[in-house]
């Protein structure tokens, strides 16, 4: 398939972007080809760094005509090994498409090029007293193009939705170079198929996202955070119901750490100062944001009181300063930093809340039945039904990960859950796609791929 040897194509591609718009050989930095998950490190023959949508279009047109495969790339923080190139693929990075085109306070939207980092967008929104609600640990390096391509979730989905819910318009380029200009600011637009949704969450397989119009929200002026210790998962589920009904739309995060993860953070993430003892079965980080600081805090404290008095919550630490708010969030974020315990193979699954307590016990039981000395931790965005699991079965964790995957995903299938809540399928999960999608669904996905990218040049081998 790879025809990058064709010097004619290489010369044509270089001419499209001009000097500075490409890199080759030793000039290509390892960040542009090394997979974060350690799955591969294939040096690409060419790295394309276009600056405009027109250049992206011309690159795709040239590659389409000779069936040259492409690995599109944002910040390379994806967790399913999608963006790192495979043998023979050229890389198309959005690292030079970093322009914030416009912040429009009348429509509460921002227009951005695909390569703008999430944190830049958050800061730009704040300058206009607005909020871009998407937030995740990789905010400093991930790009909005990557966020859209993976339909990223993160910490505030419970209130604001996934990336899919935060997009008004998308400009994308099809495999043959056709530019699909859906870049408008209309929140209501029922003119047939919602084409932007084809590109959101399709992991670079149906088209390349070059620009987007994203939705901004009013910036909240209150934030309250507490860490609570609870006995069992049934209390966690009841606490969530109470929080949702009494806090309403103020509830902005409901993050949970199982006891196993809390202990791992205490032991292996030294910069985190855990404010509760290790004696609780579950730890809930609860956060509210609103527009009336005094009333919001009263509502927050009343809800926590009610939860304590009814015996749902055993102990509560309320953050009374910005520093303490950051400290409590650092405990939660510590779950992604438990590396001292060895390589942690990570999962991102979703299931119904009332199955989650059983799932946590059962998944550990099944993995331990095979590898008794397993280190395992569960945590996640439980308000959205999303659990992350980290597992180390010993030095052979990486080599045997497909066997662990089989145990985890089989249980997910039994519970009618999803093998990917927010990270996508990429290459890492593709052999398990059928555990969460039916044959007709997969067939329809393949039909779309065939129609939109008949030569299969965009992210080939990803998803299926």
Closest approach, Cβ 459 to ligand FAD, in A, equals 5
Contact between 357 and 233 under an 8 Å Cβ cutoff? The reply is yes
Q: Which residues of 339-367 are buried (b: 16+ CB within 10 A; e: fewer)?
A: eeeeebbbbbbbbeeebbbebbeebbeeb
Transcribe 82-99 into DSSP letters: -SSPPTTPEEEE-TT---
344 binds ligand FAD (CB under 6 A): no
Q: Which element (helix H / strand E) includes 244? A: helix 233-247
Chain centroid to CA 248: 25
Write the Ramachandran bin of 91: left for phi over 0, alpha for psi from -120 to 50, otherwise beta: beta
Q: β-strand 90-93 against 47-48: which pairing, if any?
A: parallel
Whose Cβ is closer to ligand FAD: residue 300's or residue 347's? 347
Site string for ligand FAD, 312-341 (x = CB under 6 A): ------------------------x-----
Whose Cβ is closer to ligand FAD: residue 145's or residue 383's? 145
Closest by CA position to 316, among listed 417, 227, 255, 239: 227
256 binds ligand FAD (CB under 6 A): no
Considering only 44, 133, 204, 383, the residue that binds ligand FAD (CB under 6 A) is 204
Considering only 21, 69, 82, 169, the residue that binds ligand FAD (CB under 6 A) is 82
Whose Cβ is closer to ligand FAD: residue 261's or residue 303's? 261
Q: What SS3 string covers 118-130?
A: HHHHHHHHHHCCE
Site string for ligand FAD, 426-455 (x = CB under 6 A): x-----------------------------
Whose Cβ is closer to ligand FAD: residue 142's or residue 226's? 142
Two tokens at 344?
Answer: 């942690």
77 binds ligand FAD (CB under 6 A): yes
Site string for ligand FAD, 205-244 (x = CB under 6 A): ---xx-----------------------------------
385 binds ligand FAD (CB under 6 A): no
Round to whole Å and give the CA distance between 456 and 435.
24
420 binds ligand FAD (CB under 6 A): no
136 binds ligand FAD (CB under 6 A): yes
252 binds ligand FAD (CB under 6 A): no
Closest by CA position to 172, among listed 463, 458, 401, 461: 458
Considering only 45, 72, 169, 357, the residue that binds ligand FAD (CB under 6 A) is 72
HSE of 139 in the Cβ direction (CA atoms, 13 Å)?
Answer: 15
Quick check: helix, strand or coil at residue 176? coil
Two tokens at 51?
Answer: 């600056």
Considering only 32, 73, 250, 350, the residue that binds ligand FAD (CB under 6 A) is 73
Contact between 77 and 146 under an 8 Å Cβ cutoff? The reply is yes
When CB distances to ligand FAD are compared, the closest residue is: 146
* Residues 6+ positions from 454 with CB-CB distance below 8 Å: 175
Q: Which stretch binds ligand FAD (CB under 6 A): 78-86, 99-107, 372-380, 428-436?
A: 78-86
Which single residue is written with the structure tokens 């495999």?
175
Between residue 150 and residue 179, which ones bind ligand FAD under the rule CB under 6 A?
A: 150, 152-154
List, in sequence order, every residue forming a beta bridge with 102; answer none if it has no partner.
111
Whose Cβ is closer to ligand FAD: residue 77's or residue 327's? 77
Closest approach, Cβ 263 to ligand FAD, in A, equals 21
380 binds ligand FAD (CB under 6 A): no
Site string for ligand FAD, 97-116 (x = CB under 6 A): -----------------x--
Centre a 10 Å sphere on the Cβ of residue 88 and count the other Cβ atoms it contains: 16
Round to whole Å and give the CA distance between 329 and 315.
17
Considering only 53, 57, 108, 143, the residue that binds ligand FAD (CB under 6 A) is 143
Two tokens at 183?
Answer: 């870049």
Q: Which stretch binds ligand FAD (CB under 6 A): 99-107, 143-151, 265-273, 358-366?
A: 143-151
- How many of the chain's residues bind ligand FAD (CB under 6 A)? 35
List residues binding ligand FAD (CB under 6 A): 72-79, 82-83, 94, 114, 136-138, 142-143, 145-147, 149-150, 152-154, 203-204, 208-209, 336, 422-423, 426, 459, 462
């Amino acid at each position: 398939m790879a025809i990058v040897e064709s010097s004619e194509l290489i010369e044509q591609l270089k001419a499209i972007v001009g000097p500075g718009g490409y890199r080759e050989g030793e000039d290509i930095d390892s960040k542009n080809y090394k997979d974060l998950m350690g799955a591969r490190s294939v040096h690409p023959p060419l790295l394309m760094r276009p600056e405009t949508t027109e250049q992206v279009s011309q690159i795709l047109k040239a590659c389409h005509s000779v069936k040259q495969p492409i690995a599109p790339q944002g910040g390379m923080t994806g967790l399913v090994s999608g963006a790192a190139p495979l043998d023979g693929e050229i890389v198309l990075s959005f690292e030079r498409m970093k322009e914030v085109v416009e912040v429009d306070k009348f429509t509460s939207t921002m227009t951005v090029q695909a390569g703008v980092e999430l944190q830049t967008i958050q800061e730009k929104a704040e300058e206009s007293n607005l909020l871009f609600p998407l937030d995740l640990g990789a905010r400093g390096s991930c790009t909005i193009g990557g966020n859209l391509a993976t339909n990223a979730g993160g910490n505030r989905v419970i209130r604001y939705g996934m990336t899919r819910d935060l997009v008004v318009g998308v400009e994308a380029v099809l495999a043959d170079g056709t530019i699909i200009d859906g870049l408008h600011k209309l929140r209501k637009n029922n003119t047939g198929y919602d084409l932007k949704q084809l590109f959101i969450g399709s992991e670079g397989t149906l088209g390349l996202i070059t620009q987007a119009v994203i939705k901004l929200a009013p910036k909240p002026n209150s934030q309250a955070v507490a860490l609570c210790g609870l006995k069992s998962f049934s209390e966690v589920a009841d606490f969530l119901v109470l929080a949702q009904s009494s806090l309403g739309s103020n509830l902005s995060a409901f993050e949970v750490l199982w006891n196993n993860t809390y202990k791992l953070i205490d032991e292996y993430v030294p910069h985190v100062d855990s404010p509760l003892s290790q004696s609780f079965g579950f730890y809930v980080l609860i956060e509210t944001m609103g527009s009336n600081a005094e009333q919001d805090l009263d509502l927050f404290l009343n809800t926590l009181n009610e939860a304590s008095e009814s015996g749902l919550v055993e102990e509560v630490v309320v953050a009374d300063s910005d520093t303490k708010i950051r400290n409590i969030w650092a405990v939660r974020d510590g779950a992604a930093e438990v590396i001292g315990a060895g390589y942690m193979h990570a999962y991102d699954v979703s299931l119904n809340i009332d199955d989650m307590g059983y799932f946590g016990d059962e998944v550990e039981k099944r993995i331990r039945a095979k590898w008794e000395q397993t280190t395992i931790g569960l945590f996640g965005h439980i308000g959205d039904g999303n659990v992350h699991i980290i597992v180390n079965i010993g030095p052979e964790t990486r080599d045997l990960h497909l066997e662990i995957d089989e145990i985890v995903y089989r249980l997910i299938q039994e519970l009618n859950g999803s093998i990917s809540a927010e990270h996508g399928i990429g290459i890492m999960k593709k052999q398990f796609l059928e555990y969460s999608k039916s044959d007709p669904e997969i067939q329809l996905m393949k039909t779309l791929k065939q129609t939109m990218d008949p030569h299969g040049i965009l992210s080939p081998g990803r998803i299926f």
